């Protein structure tokens, strides 16, 4: 593997566990372990999977007041952070001047500011974007001294509660400081698998000890990037750089739920984010294409980049994520298709190796999400 790749604090543990390592977002990361992608996926759905997500960017924003920081974030993201309660997380998106998505991210209100997690592949870009656009009195810290673990699955919180009982009382999208094994961690009850679970920010020098303690429980197995991808696809969750990019608007991506009423036309703090006029124009007139789920007929998977055509053979879209669903035992995919075809049960066709494979537009998630809302 290239010497130029970065590694996470868990690298030695991955190697010891027999992981197959691959380059990902500038890091050497585990794509699978000896268990194999399918069994890792099914284990996460049945028990608890442990994911190394330390390649993500962790940031802390503070300033003269929490409201000042919230308003600075709202100038870059079409979400409502002013009214976000302490200890609550909210999904968001950086937009560019064209109203398209630069990255998606998670933002948690803490007592003295906001804790932000950005995607690994966009980390440098996002940090530069924040530095260039945040007011001078807003302080941004890169939390490079912290690792990040995701413990996901129906047994995840039960397992972590053996070490930190208070996590059992957290709801989906809660986030708070928690002492684990005597060390200051930050726990969010969230994740990217569609399952209940937590994400744990832990000091680098305590990271291996925490992972080893979690892995000692019978319910817990390491899970690699391969199963992480199939899990999030089953849950209908976008992967930046595939289902979202700088040509995709929040409206076309069907992510309007992430733009709260206060930020929409007529809201108390409407607009004000980059590309707001273009996003609002799409809200009023509908975009040319929309993100949809697809269920291909048969068992052949439909992969990213495959063209979608209508019954007349006209290209009407493209697959952005696709594969085989271990939970359902059938192929599934996500695509952008012309708005006229973006209704549930519409029949379209995937062009796979010169053949037309019938597909049905399907609602997402493909597998029910099991977040704990209390």
| 3-state SS, one letter per residue, for 194-257 | CCCEEEEEEEHHHHHHHHHHHHCCCCEEECCHHHHHHHHHHCCCCCECCCECCCCCCCCCCCHH
Q: What is the greatest pairwise CA distance in the chain? A: 64
Q: How far is residue 221's CA from residue 47's CA, in Å, rounded to a whole number?
A: 9
Q: What end-to-end distance do the CA atoms of the chain give, in Å? A: 45
- pLDDT of residue 3 exceeding 80: no
Q: How far is residue 22's CA from residue 24's CA, in Å, rounded to a whole number?
A: 6
User: Could you check whether the bond before residue 72 is cis, i.e. omega within 30 degrees of 0?
Assistant: no
Q: How far is residue 276's CA from residue 315's CA, in Å, rounded to a whole number?
A: 30
| E strand or H helix that includes residue 350 | strand 347-352
- pLDDT of residue 218 exceeding 60: yes
pLDDT at 162: 98
User: Which pairs count as long-range contacts for 298-301, CB under 8 Å and 24+ apart, including other chains?
Assistant: 298/331, 298/357, 299/324, 299/330, 299/331, 300/331, 300/352, 300/357, 301/331, 301/333
Does residue 235 contact residue 229 with C-beta atoms inside 8 Å? Answer: no
- pLDDT of residue 210 exceeding 80: yes
- Residue 85's DSSP bridge partners are none
Which burial class, exposed, middle or buried, applies to 213 when counting CB atoms under 10 A from its CB (0-12, 13-18, 19+)? middle
- pLDDT of residue 355 exceeding 80: yes
Q: How far is residue 70's CA from residue 67's CA, in Å, rounded to a whole number?
A: 5
Residues written for the chain: 374
pLDDT at 136: 97
Query: How is the chain split among helix, strand and coil, in percent rounded to 5?
Result: 25, 35, 40
Domain at 288-374: CATH code: 2.40.30.110
Q: How far is residue 296's CA from residue 355's CA, in Å, rounded to a whole number?
A: 13
Residue 250: which of 291, 192, 308 has the closest Cα? 291
Mean pLDDT of 149-162: 98
- pLDDT of residue 117 exceeding 70: yes
pLDDT at 308: 98
Domain 11-53+144-234 belongs to what topology? Gyrase A; domain 2 (3.30.1360)
pLDDT at 2: 60
- pLDDT of residue 80 exceeding 70: yes
Q: How far is residue 59's CA from residue 72's CA, in Å, rounded to a whole number?
A: 15
Q: How confident is the model at residue 273 (pLDDT cuts 50, 70, 90)?
A: very high
Whether 11-53+144-234 and 288-374 share one fold: the answer is no
- pLDDT of residue 1 exceeding 60: no
What is the CB neighbour count within 10 angstroms for residue 42? 18
Q: Phi/psi at 265 (nearest 5 deg)? A: -55, 130
Mean pLDDT of 149-158: 98
Does residue 48 contact residue 198 with C-beta atoms inside 8 Å? Answer: no
pLDDT, the chain, mean: 97
pTM greater than 0.85 (yes/no): yes
Q: How confident is the model at residue 354 (pLDDT cuts 50, 70, 90)?
A: confident
Q: Quick one: angle between helices 37-46 and 225-234, nearest 10?
A: 60
Q: How far is residue 72's CA from residue 138's CA, in Å, rounded to a whole number?
A: 8
Q: How far is residue 41's CA from residue 226's CA, in Å, rounded to a whole number?
A: 8
- pLDDT of residue 374 exceeding 90: no
Q: How far is residue 261's CA from residue 209's CA, in Å, rounded to a whole number?
A: 43
Mean pLDDT of 344-371: 96
In this prediction, what percent of the chain has a pLDDT beyond 70?
99
| E strand or H helix that includes residue 336 | strand 330-338
What Cα–Cα distance (Å) separates residue 182 from each residue in 13, 163, 209? 22, 10, 11
In this prediction, what percent of the chain has a pLDDT beyond 90?
98
Residue ranges per domain, the chain?
A: 11-53+144-234, 288-374
Mean pLDDT of 203-208: 98
Does residue 110 contact residue 81 with C-beta atoms inside 8 Å? Answer: no
Q: What is the pLDDT of residues 12-23, one digit of tens each?
A: 999 999 999 999
């Amino acid at each position: 593997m290239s010497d130029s790749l970065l590694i996470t604090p868990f690298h030695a543990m991955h190697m010891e566990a027999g992981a197959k390592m691959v380059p990902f977002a500038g890091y050497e990361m585990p794509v699978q372990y000896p268990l194999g992608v399918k069994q890792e996926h099914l284990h996460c759905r049945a028990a608890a999977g442990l994911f190394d997500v330390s390649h993500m960017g962790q940031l802390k924003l503070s300033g003269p007041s929490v409201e000042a920081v919230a308003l600075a974030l709202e100038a870059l993201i079409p979400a409502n952070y002013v009214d976000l309660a302490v200890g609550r997380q909210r999904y968001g998106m950086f937009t560019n001047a064209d109203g398209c998505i630069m990255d998606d991210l998670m933002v948690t209100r803490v007592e003295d500011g906001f804790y932000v997690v950005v995607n690994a592949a966009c980390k440098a870009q996002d940090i530069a974007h924040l530095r260039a656009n945040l007011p001078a009195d807003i302080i941004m810290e890169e939390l490079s001294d912290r690792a990040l673990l995701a413990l996901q699955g129906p047994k995840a919180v039960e397992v972590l509660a053996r070490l930190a009982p208070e996590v059992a009382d957290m709801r989906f999208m809660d986030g708070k400081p928690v002492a684990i094994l005597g060390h200051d961690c930050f726990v969010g009850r969230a994740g990217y698998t569609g399952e209940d679970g937590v994400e744990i920010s832990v000091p680098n020098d305590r990271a291996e000890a925490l992972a080893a303690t979690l892995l000692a429980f019978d319910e817990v197995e390491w899970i690699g990037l391969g199963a992480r991808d199939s899990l999030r696809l089953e849950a209908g969750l976008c992967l930046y750089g595939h289902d979202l990019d700088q040509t995709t608007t929040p409206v076309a991506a069907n992510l309007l739920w992430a733009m709260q009423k206060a930020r929409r036309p007529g809201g108390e703090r409407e607009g004000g984010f980059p590309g707001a006029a273009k996003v609002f124009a799409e809200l009023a007139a509908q975009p040319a294409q929309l993100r949809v789920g697809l269920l291909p007929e048969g068992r052949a998977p439909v992969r990213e980049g495959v063209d979608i055509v209508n019954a007349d053979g006209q290209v009407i879209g493209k697959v952005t994520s696709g594969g085989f669903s271990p939970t359902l035992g059938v192929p599934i995919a996500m695509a952008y298709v012309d708005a006229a075809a973006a209704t549930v049960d519409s029949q379209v066709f995937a062009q796979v190796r010169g053949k037309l494979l019938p597909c049905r537009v399907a609602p997402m998630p493909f597998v029910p999400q099991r977040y704990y809302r209390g």
